[in-house]
Amino acid sequence: MNNTILNCDDESARPTFDIIIKNLDKIKDDFHLDEIVLHNDDGYFDHEHDDDDYKDETIRSLPSSDLNPFQKFVIEKLTNIENAVNHIDHKVNLLYERESIQRIKLILKKALLMNFGDNECNIPQMRLFNSSSSTDMLEFFKFVSYHLIKTYSALWKGYDMIGLSLAPKTLEFNLLGFAFCTKQHQHHKFNSITSPLHNRAAPIRCSSIRYVINNFFNEKYNPSHVIVFESTTSPIDFNASLLPMSSNNNTNNKQTRKEIIKMQNLIKKLFQLERQIFFLSYYYNINFNQIICGLNLFHLYHNSDIDSSDLLERIFESAIKDCLPLLYRLYGIHQLFITW
């Protein structure tokens, strides 16, 4: 039960959801699961108001009873404008997600001969794993959190500002899907991917792998790979000279601060992706070579001078690679991608 995907590629020697739940009584005692407290991710740093002279002294910080009619009118109009902007932003994000899915399909088909088929239920889409969805899921989250804490506490020391919990209550996947390889690989055996038996009663979305198999794939084309992509519309950059982040996070230099914020945006997504892959390695019966992952970085769309291959190379030639052992290995076997 102590094997993780970091020290055991073969899923047959690593416990997955069904095995964990089947042996739950023993596991709870051995790993002291009752002592593990799950948390939401911490609030991420606020880069909307990063100017040194910014202070929360707006009229909206005043009690309603202290406002005159004109101030109340202004607040109402500002709120309406913000709601409209948020609505537009949501629509833009949906359009961006739709376009990014098409690019992912093309990239994976060209690079790895991956096929998603014609049915939309297996296309990568947002999916949420929630520890409160069932008692079994709660214990599963605690078990994975035990190993996350054991594996990454030391590796991620100094990156607290990223705000990611190693004992999360929920995990949101920006894009999670399943695909099959259209050409057999001579040197790799791919397990047929199935959802845990104990967690099939109430699939969260039609993207459930069980729904995919029942409604699209036949025995010949059962899914062979899990596809995981994280997305962000925030500005990103990577400068290895700013590592470690903890020593530069409180700088007063405004230009350096902007660079740090861009870098934190990127590092947060990398850490999220690492954590998600670790989680899925217990949830599905997959070997390491059945994972394909990547980042959708909208910043690259407006900055075509940034080469995605060069960006990956800069990341994994730096000290940050030690914090991301799973992504580093996937990068080494060409199953980690960056696109916009």
Per-residue pLDDT tens digits for 155-164: 998 888 888 9
Q: What is the three-class DSSP state of 79?
A: helix
Average pLDDT of span 170-181: 90
pLDDT at 210: 52
- Residue scoring higher pLDDT (74 or 136): 136
pLDDT at 97: 66
Per-residue pLDDT tens digits for 79-122: 778 777 766 665 566 666 667 888 888 888 888 888 887 656 67
Distance CA 194, CA 217 (A): 12
Q: Provide the whole-model pTM.
A: 0.79
pLDDT at 206: 44
SS3 content of the chain, % helix, strand, coil (to 5): 50, 10, 35
pLDDT at 322 over 50: yes
- Please give the single-letter amino acid code of residue 54: Y
Let me know how long the chain is. 340
Q: What is the three-class DSSP state of 190?
A: coil
Per-residue pLDDT tens digits for 217-238: 454 557 889 999 999 988 999 9
Confidence of residue 68 (pLDDT cuts 50, 70, 90): confident
